[in-house]
Amino acid sequence: MIRPPLDRSHFTTLGDVVYLNQASLGLIGQPAVDAMIRFLEDVGRHGNTQMSDQEEAAFLEDLRHRAAQLLHADADQIAVLSSASELLGQMPLILDLGEGAKVIAVSSDFPAVTRPWLRLAETGGCTVEFVDDSPDSDLTTDLIDRIDGDTAAVAVASVQYATGTAVDIPRLRAATTDTGARLVVDATQEVGTRETPMGSWGADVTVTSGYKWLGGHGGVAIGVIGQRLLGETPALPGWMSAPDPFDFDSTSLPLAEGARRYTQSTISYVSVAGLTAAIDQLIDASLGAIRGHAEEMARSLIDQLQPHGWLPLRPLDDPSAAAHIVSLGRQDTDITQVLGRLRSDGIVAGGRGGRLRVSIAPYNDEDDITSLVGSLNQI
């Protein structure tokens, strides 16, 4: 029996359905839910009677230090944000690549990664050159092969949301460093599934949403700011970007030291409380154990489905295959109908790019795989 690293009893939804869709709206464990309820009951509903200005200014520090531990980064590099898109959307302004710069991206990447650059391209500020995520080649190699002396930046997700294809970020960073290109990484579909030492990646910016694999709720995200940008002025500084946010001087632009200057404003404090508890849960469970569990579960799933014509986009022995997102396809199969049948059987999975996307979370167990295989084999 394959045992999950996280206690299934912490996820009440699992009593009603088989949930294999953490890559979308992920389930939230009871420790995070309890932390959010406590914040609402003890602080949120009571306003400044329970939280002074000084306490509010310091409220993000616990999350900052937990994130630094999880991501093997310095706390001064950690920016707490309202969303990953908040920082990704500023990158064309922050990096200021110069007119006509070439930016390399993946054609099937998450739109939050590519659209800020496409908007810049509309004004003539850059050109965007796309690389396809092909199962017949290594995506990291394909990205590196497109980098040349005209390349000003590469913007990419470290694990592709639709296919589970993983990009070797340290290898990609070495290639961009050789040419002087900047590197922007969205690690939302990776952080929380395995060790992700973002602090050593050397990217200009790496960002992750606080929900999905991190186990929090929407309204909070984490950024790791590279050394070159720690002393820069953010493109869109806010009132919380100051050393003392409650020193309301509207006539100057004071900036906090390090990544704190990239926090713009009041965010969802209830989500901050939940994410802090969720990260504690991941640290206690061990990311190594979480990765090993996903690999064992994915292998069992693929071994059982291949005889019935369901094939993964990439075999698990492919170094660029991330086991926690398994993209499955079968010839002449309508994935929309498949998802409807699974729903009727009490199984929630995802459909992306015309394929069945199975998210393997640290709360899933072998019975979940057995249920999915049984339902698919009836189709």
CATH code for the domain in which residue 149 is found? 3.40.640.10
How wide is the angle at C-alpha 111 spanned by C-alphas 134 and 85, nearest 5°? 135
In the DSSP assignment, the letter for residue 59 is: T
Mean pLDDT over residues 321-328, rounded?
Answer: 97
Q: Model confidence at 170, in pLDDT bands (50, 70, 90)? A: very high
Whether residue 371 sits in one domain with residue 246: no
Q: Tell me whether residue 207 is exposed, middle or buried, using C-beta atoms within 10 angstroms of its C-beta: 0 to 12, 13 to 18, 19 or more.
A: buried
Rounded to an integer, the average pLDDT of 139-156 is 97
The answer to whether residue 2 sits within a structural domain is no
SS3 for 311?
A: strand
- Judged against a pLDDT cut of 90, whether residue 357 lies above it is answered with yes
Domain that holds residue 76: 42-283
Instruction: Report the pLDDT averaged over residues 360-374.
Output: 97
Residues 207 and 182 in one domain: yes
Query: In which residue are the tokens 């998210």 written?
Result: 359
Identify whether the C-beta of residue 205 lies closer than 8 Å to the C-beta of residue 225.
yes
Q: Is residue 25 a part of any domain in this protein?
A: no
Residues 290 and 278 reside in one and the same domain: no
Domain boundary among 251, 283, 315: 283
Q: Which residue has the tokens 């906090």?
A: 256
User: Is residue 312 located within the same domain as residue 175?
Assistant: no
Q: Is 379's pLDDT higher than 90?
A: no
Other beta carbons less than 10 A from residue 49's beta carbon: 8
CATH number, domain with residue 324: 3.90.1150.10
> Would the pLDDT of 1 be above 80?
no
Name the one residue in this structure whose structure tokens are 């990260």: 279
| Final residue of a structural domain among 283, 316, 351 | 283
The pLDDT score that the predictor gives to residue 2 is 82
Q: What is the mean pLDDT of residues 254-273?
A: 97
- Predicted pLDDT at 100: 79
Look at the chain and report how many structural domains it folds into.
Answer: 2
**27 found inside a domain:** no
Question: Where residue 243 falls among pLDDT bands split at 50, 70, 90?
Answer: very high
Query: What is the pLDDT, as a whole number, of residue 96?
Result: 87
The pLDDT score that the predictor gives to residue 85 is 97
Instruction: Check whether 99 has a pLDDT greater than 90.
Output: no
Same domain? For 228 and 355 the reply is no
Residue 98 has what pLDDT? 85
Average pLDDT of the segment spanning 67-91: 97
* 75 shares its domain with 220: yes
Tens-digit pLDDT profile for residues 181-220 = 999 999 999 999 999 999 999 999 999 999 999 999 999 9
Q: Do 312 and 369 share a domain, yes or no? A: yes
Residues 228 and 290 in one domain: no
Do residue 254 and residue 314 come from a single domain? no
Query: What pLDDT is recorded for position 141?
Result: 98
- Is residue 82's pLDDT more than 80? yes
The whole-angstrom separation of Cα 239 and Cα 233 is 13
pLDDT, average across residues 267-274: 98
Whether 277 and 145 map to the same domain: the answer is: yes
Residue 1: inside a domain, yes or no?
no
Boundary (domain end) residue, out of 283, 311, 341: 283
Provide φ and ψ at 230, rounded to 5°. Answer: -65, -30
Assigned domain for 28 exists: no
Residue 28 backbone dihedrals phi, psi, to 5 degrees: -110, 130
Per-residue confidence (pLDDT) for residue 320, from 0 to 100: 95
Could you tell me if 248 and 342 lie in one domain?
A: no
CB atoms within 10 A of CB 109: 21
115 found inside a domain: yes
Same domain, 259 and 362: no
Residue 33 within any structural domain of the chain: no
Q: Does a structural domain hold residue 267?
A: yes
